[in-house]
Each structure stands twice: as C-alpha cells, then as structure tokens.
Amino acid sequence: MLSTLRNKTLRITTILNAPYMMLKSSAHKLRGNDRFEGFCVDLLREISRHVGFRYRIKLVRDGAHGTRDAQGRWNGMVRELIDREADLAVGDITITSSREDAVDFTLPFMTLGVSILFRKNQEEHSLLFFLSPLSVDVWLCVAAAHVVISLLLCCVTRVQSSRWRGFRGSKTHYCCECPQRPAHCGQSCVGEKMCGCAQLDVIKVKTYGNSLIIHHGDRKSSGGESVDSTDIVKNRLTLLNSLWFTISSIMQQGCEPLPRSTSTCIISATWWLFSFVLVSSYTANLASFLTRERLKSPIESVEDLAKQTEIRYGCVRSGSTQAFFQESKHETYERMWHAMRDDLVPSNAKGVARVQSGGYAFLMESTSIEYVVQRQCQLTQIGGLLDSKGYGIALPPGSPYRSFFSSAILRLQENGTLHMLKERWWKVRHLSRRCPEEDGPSRPGSASELGLPKLGGVFVVLLSGLGVACLIAFAEFFLNARSARNRLATCGEHALGKERLMVRYPPEG
C-alpha cells in the first residue's frame, strides 16, 4: 500500500487563512503549488518527503471548511472529500465529532482552543492629563489655599518688628543733580532717592548731552560715618513675594526672603506640611492612575462578553467555532449563540477587520489569535480557552492512507519539526515589525513608558510659561530703556539752570 502512495499525485483541497495557507505576493506570476506558502505548505512538503508522494494544491470552491446543514448535507472541504473530488484536506480544519462521522482524520498536528480576540483599550488623554489624579474641586481648593496663605503671610509680616531677611544690592551708575544753592553744593541726588550730603568715590566722569554722568565706587560717607551700599537692606513686604514663597514651598524649592518671626514661621511650617502631603498623594495617585488606565478593559472573560450588550461578537460562518456554540448545552454558550447569529463573518480576515474597527469581539482559534496579535499590536486575547481541540489532515471516508499520514505527523512532532515550523510562521521575522513587549497582567513587574499623549500638557505649560516670561522681559526692557532716556533728558534740562556743579574728588596721593 505504501508503494502505491509513493508514485501517486494527491489532490489537496485547502482554504486561505494565514499563516496556514497563503498566496504569495507574486502568485499571479506563478503556477501550481508555487503560488502558495504557509505552515501547511511546509507541513505537506515534510510529509511528502517522509512518505514519498506528490501533490497538487487547489482552493476549495465555496470557501468553507465544512459544516452540515439542517438536511444533513455538508459543504466546503468536507463535501469535496465525500464526493472524492480531493484526496486530502489540509489547512486549519478542526477535528470534531460530527466531521469525523463524515470523513477520516489523522492525528492532530496542532492543539488549540477557542478564545476571544478584542481591541486593546485605547488610552485617549488630553493635554491636561497630568491634572487627572486630583479632582477639579481639589485643584480649586489648592489654588484658594495658596492665595489665602500668601495674603496671611503678607499681612502678618507687615505688623511684625522682625520682618524678612531681604536681598542686598548696589548701584554703580547715578545721575547727580546739584540744586541752585551754592551753600549746599555737596547735597546731591544719588540714584532715585535723596541721600543727603554724600561724598562719592568718583571713578569716571563723562557728559551725555547736557547731562553729567558720574561713575563712583560702592562706598559713600554721610555725617562722618562710612556706609557700604551692599549693607542697605530693602524690606520687600509685597504680596508677590508671599505668592512666590508659597508656590516655591509646594514645588519643594527654596527661595528668599525667608520668614523670621514666630508667627510667620508657624504659618510656613503648616504650609510645608500641607505641601508635603499634597505632593506625596499626587505622586502616588498618578502612578495608580496610569496603571489603572493601561489595564482597564470593558471585558475580561467570556462571561463578561455574554452579560453585556454594547459590544457585538461573532465567529466564522460554517466553521468549527460556530458548531461549538450551536451545539453547546452550556447556558452561557447557548445565550451567546442566540446573540451572535446575526454577526457571523465569512472568514477570519473579515472578523479581524471588524475587531480593528472597534466595538466587536471575534471568537476564533487560539493559534490564529496568537498569530494575529503578534502583527496587529492594537489587538489582544481576552480570557482563556473555552475548549480544547486540534487541527488534523482530513481524508475521504475509509481512506487506506490514514495511518501513513498519522505516522508521519507523529515523527515530525517527535523530532521537533512541527515546533520549528510554528516558530517560523508565527514569529515576526523583522524586528522592526514586532509589537512591543506586553506590559499587562502577564508581566506585573514591568512598567510602560510615558509618551507625549500623557505628558504633553506639561510641555504645553512649560512653553506657555517661557513665552509669557519672554514677553514680559521684552516689555520690561523697553519700559526701562524709555524710563532711563526720560531721566537723562530731565537731568540735562535741570543742569541748564544750575549755576555750578561741584564734585569732591578723592584726594590724590
């Protein structure tokens, strides 16, 4: 019997379904078996090498695997085997009890089960996503607390004898005016305020129009007492300082001026404690919020799918999955069959396309789901397997070649060829096309990176702050330049009416 098989050309009926049987991209230029590629093509090649037969592959006419209608008539590949139009049916054809009553099957070359293919939860985040960990009410209360604390600090420090440790500074350029009183020629206007009778260490004197510009040192004396300009302390008891202090505290940054009195220190310490708790709570809730958003899915199991009505679901028409639900006596599966009868699809490709569009769950074999999710990164498998079954090679009823093919499949399984073929056709060959590692429940220790959709709002705030700061800086520059020009012009006009200008230079030697 084996000798007759070695010199025989078998007719193979099959159905297109990646990665089991596919047409090559250049199939229109090819003829015969060279048009096809896939797992089952390589499987046939390995079996023929062991057994020694030749074969010719053709597609099934009606594009169905094979189901029995109400009158007991079969269609698809099973029909062609029964009618002896084909010698073998090779593809993703599932071994079922009803099919085995009609045709013969070899040992399964692959085990699998029905599972759910669904679209991953699409995380849609606004630019202000970073504000999500706290509610709008909390943010408003924080803003109100910021203003209230700032006002309280400002008011309290104004009535305290010990106010703030301020900033120190000095000026090096002064416009000097001498009033028309020769007896008080030493009295001059230094900077913007009257300093009284001051002696300046003149460094450089020059004219600007009708004005006299004096560059002097940092030290000046008044009434015989030497005063360093860097020791002049300015009390900046303004609301802006208080606002800056409170916002720096909540951002955990230091700033000056600092509070010195007991009451303001108590207010500051209370605000620091509030800021510490608020920032810690925000950080913890943000991490939890990101994890919850990433793992959230409307369905987690087949029971969830059966209970809801918003997401439609279905399977391939005239396939083993349809027969599984149609013939099942399980209450959940019976209810699902009545709900999915109007949502069946003609092929796995059509079902995957509906899942990608959203709002649809596709019930298909787990091996096909494994192949799809490695290439469609937005899709995922939901839940476990609903059953356990296998793919086998179908032969006409009473075929004498069944044992030869089963023995060949068993040898391929033992020597690891079947595993090698699955790795070849299931794994993505190009690294650039592989989906990123899953960071869901299967890998609890992993963490996903944060992209611009989640943190884009922070950059918007940063750019907005920089833009406003630049506008204010330009405005201050022009205002200061205009003010300086006006002061110089005023100083020149006053100088025209002076009788004399006396400047005491430091003694030589």
Domain range list for the chain? 2-112+390-426, 117-121+299-387
3-class SS at 258? strand
Q: CB of 41 within 8 A of CB of 21?
A: yes
Cα 135 to chain centroid distance, Å, stands at 21
Encoded tokens for 201? 């260490």
Cα separation, 187 vs 177, whole angstroms: 9
What is the pLDDT at residue 431?
Answer: 59
1 band by pLDDT with thresholds 50, 70 and 90: low
Instruction: Say what the pLDDT of residue 309 is.
Output: 87
- State whether CATH 3.40.190.10 applies to domain 2-112+390-426: yes
**Percent of the chain residues topping a pLDDT of 90:** 31
Share of the chain above pLDDT 70, in %: 70
At 47 the pLDDT is 93
Tens digit of pLDDT for each residue in 96-128? 989 999 999 999 999 999 999 999 876 666 677
Report d(CA 438, CA 294) in Å as an integer. 11
Band of pLDDT at residue 508, cut at 50, 70 and 90: very low
Res 287: pLDDT: 79
- Provide the pLDDT for residue 442: 40
Q: Which two tokens stand for residue 337?
A: 């069959």
Judge if 2-112+390-426 and 117-121+299-387 fold alike in CATH terms: yes
For residue 417 the two structure tokens come to 């060829």
Phi, psi angles (nearest 5°) of residue 17: -165, 115
Side chain identity, residue 436: P
Q: Confirm if 404 and 2 have CB atoms less than 8 A apart.
A: yes
Q: How far apart are CA 316 and CA 323, in angstroms?
A: 10
pLDDT tens column, 167-220: 444 444 444 444 444 444 444 444 444 444 444 544 455 555 545 555 555 444
What is residue 415's predicted lDDT score, i.e. its pLDDT? 93
The fourth-level CATH superfamily of domain 117-121+299-387 is Periplasmic binding protein-like II (3.40.190.10)
Confidence at residue 154, expressed as pLDDT on a 0 to 100 scale: 80
Region of 312 (left: φ > 0; alpha: ψ -120 to 50; beta: rest) is beta
How is residue 162 written in tokens?
A: 């010990």
**Rounded CA separation 404/1 (Å):** 10
Q: How confident is the model at residue 277 (pLDDT cuts 50, 70, 90)?
A: confident
Query: Which of left, alpha, beta for 84 (phi over 0: left; psi -120 to 50: alpha)?
Result: left
Indicate the range of 17-26, 132-141, 436-445 predicted with least confidence.
436-445
**pLDDT at position 80:** 95
**Six token digits for residue 208:** 């600007």
The number of residues in the chain equals 509
What pLDDT band is residue 456 in, cutting at 50, 70 and 90? Answer: low
Is the Cβ–Cβ distance between 115 and 385 less than 8 Å? yes
Q: Cis peptide leading into 257, omega within 30 of 0?
A: yes
CB 165 within 8 A of CB 257: yes
- pLDDT of 39: 95
Q: What pLDDT is stored for residue 506 in this prediction?
A: 47
Average pLDDT, stretch 222-233? 42
CA distances from 17 to 23, 231, 313 (A): 9, 86, 20
β-bridge partners, 105: 394
**In this predicted structure, what is the pLDDT of residue 175?**
44
**pLDDT score recorded for residue 268:** 80
Q: Please, which pLDDT band fits residue 242 given cuts at 50, 70 and 90?
A: confident
Q: Mean pLDDT over all residues of the chain?
A: 77
Mean pLDDT value of segment 318-328? 87
- Respond yes or no on whether the N-terminal peptide bond of residue 179 is cis (omega within 30° of 0): no
